Amino acid sequence: MYKFIISLVLFLLAFVTLIYAAEQTSEPSHGIAYPKGWQNWGTIAVSHRIDNNTIRVILGNDDAIKAARSGNTNPWPDGAILGKVVWKDTKLENWKEAIVPDKLVHAEFMFKDSKKYTQSYGWGWARWVGLEQKPFNSGTQVCTTCHTPVKKRDWVFTEPAIFPK
C-alpha cells in the first residue's frame, strides 16, 4: 500500500512541476519583464548581417507597427516595443542561393518610455539568449554603446521596410 501512496505522491509532484514549467516565462532582463506573445507580432523589417553571419527579423507591438507604417519613428512613440530576433544564417537546402535562419541566437527588445527610461535615452533595453531565453543582465550600456551611431535616429538602426497599404 505504501508503495502505491509513494507512487501517487511522485506522480502528483511530477504533474505540478510540469504545469509550473509550462507556465513559466523567462526571468526579467535589466529589470524588464519578458514580453508575452511577441512571437506573433507584425514585421517592421528584416536584415542579413554579413559581418557576423546572422539573419534577423525586426518585429513590433501594435504601437510600433502603427508608428513604422506611418513613418512616425523619430522619435518612436511611448509604448512602442521593437523586437529583433537573431538567427545564425545558413543555406536553404532546396535553394542554395537563399540564406535563411539556422539556430536562434537571441531575441532583443527596446521598450520606448521617455519618462521611465530617462537614464537610457528613453528606451528600456533587454535581451533573452538562446532557445531557453536566458535573461541577459550585463548592463544596458552593452546595448547603448553599440547603438550610439544612431542616436540621432532615436537610437534605432532599423529603417522600416516599405509595405503596401
Which residues of the chain form contacts with a copy of itself (CB under 8 A)?
Answer: 39-43, 45-51, 55-57, 59, 65, 69, 85, 87, 89, 92-95, 97-101, 103-104, 107, 128, 131-133, 149-150, 153, 157, 159, 161-164
Which CB sits closer to a copy of itself, 113 or 153?
A: 153
Cα angle: 123, vertex 46, 100; to 5 degrees: 130
Alpha carbon distances (Å) from 15 to 12, 19, 20, 24, 127: 5, 6, 9, 14, 31
C-beta of 138: minimal distance to a copy of itself in Å? 20
Output b/e per residue, 94-126; b: 16+ Cβ within 10 A. eeeeeeebeeebbbbbbbbeeeebeebbbbbbb
C-beta of 160: minimal distance to a copy of itself in Å? 9
Which CB sits closer to a copy of itself, 113 or 133?
A: 133
C-beta of 122: minimal distance to a copy of itself in Å? 18
C-beta of 96: minimal distance to a copy of itself in Å? 9
